[in-house]
A and B are shown apart, each in its own frame.
Chain A
């Protein structure tokens, strides 16, 4: 029972309870803030796994950019009245969906634990990373040496997303067609 195990228990409990709260809250605002909680605890889990760069990036990108976007859209749409869509769906649908989810969970867990025999084959052990200058430097070396083409491709994806968002956000009424 060491310190990192206690931290893992705390972070994973917050992550699971927070994600349950995301899907059970009535208003989108409270879902959004539960999601912030989940993102922070995931960042802690990344740090426990030694992925320090991703732990920082998780907070910067997810809670800093994506969640601000979500909260901004919630504010823009005025979606603050409590919804009742959890109660409206029929009991049979809920039961079948929950049963299916538990089936999927058991299949996933079985798949994960059948991969238990696979041992580490790569070169980046903890000692190698520490001697190579840390997590961020090792990631940068792999990214800019072996995966530079993928990196450039991803920038095209971002460009396409910018163009698509601008095209979508332009004021255009569905019923009137092309009027601006």
Chain B
């Protein structure tokens, strides 16, 4: 790959698609998946800049981002399960317990 700049276009596009998924979708599982998509897009730009700058810190950051993503999805899915147990739904617009 002699021109890594094209990777950054892919990274930006996937990031914006993930953002649109977070904004549009109501199902919390799909919202979590869109967050994973955004984290992956950022990882790709980390790796690209790490190659462009001839340093390995970018790849190390991806390692740490992967750890944070794993922790985030575990806690997020635990939250979705707890929510489903209470409300019998996984839609984000049904969460209005403070209003009642």
> Residues on A close to B: CB < 8 A?
4-5, 8, 12, 15-16, 19-20, 22-23, 28, 31-32, 35, 38-39, 42, 45-46, 48-51, 53-54, 57-58, 61-62, 65-66, 69-70, 73-74, 76-77, 79, 83, 85-86, 88-89, 94, 97-98, 101-102, 104-105, 108-109, 112-113, 116, 118-125, 128, 138-139, 142-143, 147, 150, 154, 157-158, 160-162, 164-165, 168-169, 171-175
* CB-based contact B17/A50 at 8 Å: no
**Could you give, for residues 22-39 of chain B, a 1 whenever the CB lies within 8 Å of some chain A CB and a 0 otherwise?**
011111011011101100
Residue from B29, B45, B81 having most chain A Cβ neighbours under 10 A: B29
| A65 CA to B53 CA, complexed, in Å | 31
**Contact B47–A51 (Cβ < 8 Å):** yes
**B25 touching A118, Cβ below 8 Å:** no
Q: In the complex the two chains form, is A69's CB within 8 Å of B13's CB?
A: no
Proximity bits, B1-19, A CB within 8 Å = 1, else 0: 1101111111011111111
Chain A residue nearest to B91 in the complex (CB): A85
| Total contacts A-B at CB 8 Å | 225
Which chain A positions have C-beta within 8 A of B27? 28, 79, 83, 85
* A4 nearest CB across to chain B (Å): 5
Are the C-beta atoms of A79 and B47 separated by less than 8 Å? no
Q: Who on chain B is nearest to A122 by CB?
A: B55
Q: With contacts A16-B14, A46-B47 known, what are 4 further pairs, Cβ within 8 A? A: A20-B17, A51-B51, A101-B20, A108-B12
* Minimum distance in angstroms from A120 CB to a CB of chain B: 4
Contacts of A121 in B (CB 8 A): 53-55
Q: How far is the CB of B5 from chain A (nearest CB, A)?
A: 7
Given contacts A38-B37, A49-B48, contact A169 B82 (CB under 8 A): yes
